[in-house]
């Protein structure tokens, strides 16, 4: 396991407050991965069919609530699939959080087969994401799932 994964795992085993754990994960990822400029967790409100922003690290966003289907995040709430956007300018259904954001990756979090939320990462770099990012973030999402 690489060093960053060890540090992430350590957060989950050394703390028992869910909010604090999620905040530390956001902060660590943003600090340690150069191309991660904004890192946040959105969670599903099934009744309202919307996502709500929880912990995040980076510039505050006005997109606290995202309806299912809207933007990259809202699409993942419906598709239940990873969404890797190497160039946001190619996306029609995209909610901009700033002109500086060039790419985005969203990985869903599953609990007992249900899509309960997602990790969302914005980057100021074009085409920064590789299989390693997907794999790292799936690792994070599996750990987050165990908190619920
Ligand atoms: N760009 C996202 C909106 C959320 S922000 O990136 C924080 C989207 O299109 O869903």
pLDDT tens for the 148 residues of the chain, in order: 599 999 999 999 999 999 999 999 999 999 999 999 999 999 999 999 999 999 999 999 999 999 999 999 999 999 999 999 999 999 999 999 999 999 999 999 999 999 999 999 999 999 999 999 999 999 999 999 999 9
Number of structural domains (the chain) is 1
Rounded CA separation 148/15 (Å) = 15
Q: In this structure, what DSSP letter does residue 105 have?
A: E
E strand or H helix that includes residue 38: strand 38-45
Instruction: Verify whether ligand 1 is closer than 6 Å to residue 94 (CB atom).
Output: yes
- Interval between CA 14 and ligand 1 midpoint (Å): 30
For residue 65, the cross-strand partners are 52
- Domain membership of residue 81 as a residue range: 2-145
> Is the CB of 61 inside a 6 Å radius of any atom of ligand 1?
yes
Please state whether 69 falls in left (phi above 0), alpha (psi between -120 and 50) or beta. Answer: left
Domain with 129 in it: what CATH number?
Answer: 3.30.450.40
**Tokens in use for 69?**
């289907």
The rounded Å distance from CA 97 to ligand 1 centre is 6
Q: How far apart are CA 2 and CA 136, in angstroms?
A: 10
Q: Determine whether the shortest distance from the Cβ of 50 to ligand 1 is under 6 A.
A: no
State the pTM of this model.
Answer: 0.97
Phi, psi dihedrals of residue 84, rounded to the nearest 5°: -105, 115
């Amino acid at each position: 396991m690489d060093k960053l994964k060890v540090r992430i795992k350590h957060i989950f085993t050394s703390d028992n407050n869910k909010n604090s754990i999620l905040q530390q994960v956001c902060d660590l990822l943003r600090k340690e991965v150069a191309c991660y400029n904004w890192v946040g967790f959105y969670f599903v409100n099934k009744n309202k069919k919307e996502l709500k922003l929880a912990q995040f690290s980076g510039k505050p966003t006005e997109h606290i609530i995202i309806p299912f289907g809207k933007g990259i995040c809202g699409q993942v709430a419906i598709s239940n699939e990873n969404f890797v956007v190497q160039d946001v300018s190619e996306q029609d259904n995209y909610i901009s959080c700033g002109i500086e954001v060039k790419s985005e990756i969203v990985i869903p979090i599953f609990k007992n087969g249900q899509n309960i939320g997602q990790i969302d990462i914005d980057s100021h770099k074009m085409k920064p994401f590789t299989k390693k990012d997907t794999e790292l973030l799936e690792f994070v999402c599996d750990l987050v799932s165990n908190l619920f």
